Structure 1
Amino acid sequence: MVLQKGSALSFVILLGVVSLCADATYEGARSLTGVYLGVLGASGTVVGLVAGLGEFIGYGLRLVVGYVSDRTRAYWRITTLGYAINTIAVPLMALAHRWEVLASLMIAERTGKAIRTPPRDVLLSYGASQVGRGFGFGLHEAMDQIGAVAGPLIVAGVFALTQHYQSSFAVLALPAVIGLIVLLIAQQRYPEPREFETVLPDLNTKRLPRLFWIYLLAVACLGAGYVDFPLIAFHLQQGESLQTGQIPLLYAFGMGVDAVAALLFGYLLDHIGIMALILAVLLSVGFAPLVFLSSAVIWGMVLWGIGMGAQESIVRAIVANLVPPERRGSAYGIFSTGYGLAWFLGSLLMGVLYDHSLGLLVLASVVLQLLGLPLLWWIKQGMRHPA
């Protein structure tokens, strides 16, 4: 029996609450991990390597997780396992007194996210099929970023009161546990979300379509050209342009822009298609010059947040529009692996360039992002004429 649109929206909102709590947990931690790595003696290259390696391992694991999800259809159980790992890894950062230990926990947190993301995105795609995929994924990302704003604010408040990194990480156990509880409630209330899918695309389910692979290459260019916030935080600390306690606030601001951008571009995706992503790239490509080469850091973070909002919402929604439901878990796994590899190589490159030349870092960031635009235009034409 096909479930009603209202139930689908409730399902999307429940998943959004789970992600809100999860983001409050790990984004709160990430707002300080770059700074804390520097305090514990890590260099800019190490910060870039750790950030990139965590993403690469996490995204690479999604290839296996996506395949297993499709084979077993155990989307709920695998999603729960991933969130449970996050629940454990982040609070343990309070016990890290060496950068190697902190780096290991950062990678563990990324691993938990890798395990939960492909099956979670499949579940979300089912509910979003009834409310509009752009809107559904955009709403989910907006709620996601409410947590991403709240987490750094909590961390900033605790750090301001205690001046202790350990207390700032330990307080994040609360949203982690709440999120896991809501996830279990959602699983009990909607045990078969596949019933939300009412219209199945007429695609060959034996292989992924060519446009999917072109799209993966395009988004890989975008990911390689983006700078993760730990390196931005490291830069701001080294330049002493902001006090340590202000950096989480800046991150919270970027996440707030991310939330608004996700809703806006999600709406645009449902109305103008992939042009919404092209527009987001054109806006966000200028973040690196503003963050690294000027005093207009706030405006740089506005553009950075726009790009992140698009990459975390409509980028995933477009995948669901390109592949059939039976291959969606594998598609998300493959997509995440390719994107993660590009993010890792890009993060490593940005870390190395940071230690040598800010100008070259900015140039690499801008050029790599612009390389994705012709491919996105190609996909736009292909989706219009899908022969």
Structure 2
Amino acid sequence: MAQEHSFMEPVISLSGGSRRKAYAIILLFGIVSLFGDMIYEGARGVAGPYIYLLGGSAFVVAFVAGFGEFVGYGLRLVSGYVADSTRHYWALTFMGYGMLIAVPFLALAGSWEIAAVLYIIERMGKGIRAPAKDAILSNVTAPVGRGWGFAIHEAMDQVGAIAGPLIFSAAFLVQGDYRGGFVLLLIPFVLMMAALFITRMKAPVPEEMEVASGISGKKLSTRALVPYGVFTALTMAGFAVFPLIAFHYSSAGIVPYEQIPLFYAIAMGADAVVALIAGRLYDRHGLIILGAAPVISLVIPFFAFAGSYSSALPAALLWGSVMGIQETILRAAVADYTAVSKRGLAYGIFNTVYGASWFGGSLILGWAYGVSITLVIGFMAVMQCIALPVFFYARSVMEKGEGGVAV
């Protein structure tokens, strides 16, 4: 069966056995991420209230959340470099996922200080595993098309993101406190680690799957990928985090408080569906599909920050759709345009740019919200208008292969 990487070279035929093996590993890795998301997304929603109940102030909650994200994204640069230098991609992946044990241990936290340390450990684990995990996925998705492979993984990831908070909420309703929910998350942790061990057994040397696939797209120098990084920074800086949108829904009385989690679940559902569509289209048509992200993002603020309930649903659907495109194509393209030997570092740099830009943009939007809704809408729209031409320039550079070949 012919590969669908029409924009990559060469196009070769792969055996059905190679594709079946690739699908099996992608699905196993998807199960790992599904359970992982159950754990940390289940805990994330109650992080603030839990620390507060243990005696932490609002400043402590904000500091723990901000510092945890800072450490998590900062570690990506280090772990990506270490992954490429040592070739121990699996070891870093196991270490990072293993640190999710900090979440069930929150049930034993007797003070906000201990809870804060455990939350930060969980974020550190994310930073350690992310580049290595993405590098492994980039290897095993090559036989089926990276866009499609990353899309399947993202869709399964979002199932966990939806299920986690729902499971935690159910546990809270039954037992009346957070500790029971944290203890319950020990079950997906055990299942996650078991699935990870099986995945490791199926693909002990994932690079071999990419080599066997014969996929050899343009492997560019770091300089050639700079415009892609600039585009990523611009579009993420102008993309509001969902908590800000939810805050607007609540503070403006647009959506009843109890319905806001439902709108987030709708966004996550849209993310999963659009990821599958975008991934398949990327494999067929190339990087041009990513151009839909800033176009849709340009429309989002006019729905998200409007004053009517009827605009909230399309805002959630559009927001989730952009997330699906970003999480699939942005990651797949990094692999398609970088050499295997530099893949971990490439993902480390990319993830840092992605997260830091989103965080920086969120700070600006948070300040702007206190000044004027019009300023929020204007900033988001302007950033996407700037990002769009940068995207077309980056695409031109990448697909022409300017800047030399990475070694």
Q: Same fold (TM over 0.5)?
A: yes
State the secondary structure of the residue aligned to 1:119: helix
The aligned counterpart of 1:318 is: 333
The aligned counterpart of 1:338 is: 353
Letter in 2 for 1:42: A
Map 1:122-201; keep pairs closer than 5 Å: 122-162=135-175, 164-198=177-211, 199=214, 201=216
Q: Is the 2:84–2:344 Cα contact (8 Å) retained in structure 1?
A: yes
Task: Flag the 1:378–1:69 CA change in 2: closer, same or farther, 3 A.
Answer: same
Q: Give how far 1:109 is off.
A: 2.5
The aligned counterpart of 1:386 is: 401
The aligned counterpart of 1:262 is: 275
For residues 185 and 133 of structure 1, what CA distance do their matches in structure 2 show?
22
Indicate the structure (1 or 2) with the bigger Cα radius of gyration.
2
Task: Flag the 1:101–1:302 CA change in 2: closer, same or farther, 3 A.
Answer: farther
State the secondary structure of the residue aligned to 1:318: helix
Map 1:40-119; keep pairs closer than 5 Å: 42=58, 47=62, 53-89=67-103, 92=106, 95=109, 98=112, 105-119=118-132
Letter in 2 for 1:381: S
By relative contact order (CA 8 Å, sep 6+), the higher-ranking structure is 1
Task: Flag the 1:181–1:21 CA change in 2: closer, same or farther, 3 A.
Answer: same
For residues 35 and 236 of structure 2, what CA distance do their matches in structure 1 show?
25
The aligned counterpart of 2:302 is: 289
**What TM-score do the two structures reach when normalised by structure 2?**
0.83
Q: Give how far 1:332 is off.
A: 0.7
Q: Deviations over 1:72-105 (max 9, x none)?
A: 010001001111112323651784875x776654
Q: Is the 1:126–1:193 Cα contact (8 Å) retained in structure 2?
A: yes
Task: Name the Cα RMSD after superposition.
Answer: 2.9
The aligned counterpart of 1:364 is: 379
Q: Give how far 1:202 is off.
A: 7.0
**What TM-score do the two structures reach when normalised by structure 1?**
0.87
Letter in 1 for 2:286: G
Q: Is the 2:207–2:340 Cα contact (8 Å) retained in structure 1?
A: no
Q: Deviations over 1:176-229 (max 9, x none)?
A: 23212211221123211111013263767xx83433111111111122222223
Task: Flag the 1:202–1:144 CA change in 2: closer, same or farther, 3 A.
Answer: closer
State the secondary structure of the residue aligned to 2:141: helix
Q: Is the 1:159–1:245 Cα contact (8 Å) retained in structure 2?
A: no
Q: Deviations over 1:40-62 (max 9, x none)?
A: 7537x975x76554333212211
For residues 248 and 107 of structure 2, what CA distance do their matches in structure 1 show?
22
For residues 16 and 91 of structure 1, what CA distance do their matches in structure 2 show?
24
Q: Give how far 1:234 is off.
A: 4.0
Q: Is the 1:78–1:119 Cα contact (8 Å) retained in structure 2?
A: yes
State the secondary structure of the residue aligned to 1:312: helix
Aligned pair partner of 1:352 in 342, 357, 367: 367
Percent identity at matched positions?
Answer: 41
Q: Is the 1:277–1:315 Cα contact (8 Å) retained in structure 2?
A: yes
* Mapped pair 1:219 → 2:232: yes
Letter in 1 for 2:313: I
- Aligned pair count? 381
Deviates more, 1:274-283 or 1:121-130: 274-283
* Mapped pair 1:328 → 2:343: yes
Letter in 2 for 1:371: I
Q: Give how far 1:24 is off.
A: 1.5
For residues 94 and 264 of structure 1, what CA distance do their matches in structure 2 show?
43
For residues 34 and 351 of structure 1, what CA distance do their matches in structure 2 show?
18
Q: Give how far 1:119 is off.
A: 0.5
The aligned counterpart of 1:15 is: 29
Deviates more, 1:113-122 or 1:221-230: 221-230
The aligned counterpart of 1:373 is: 388
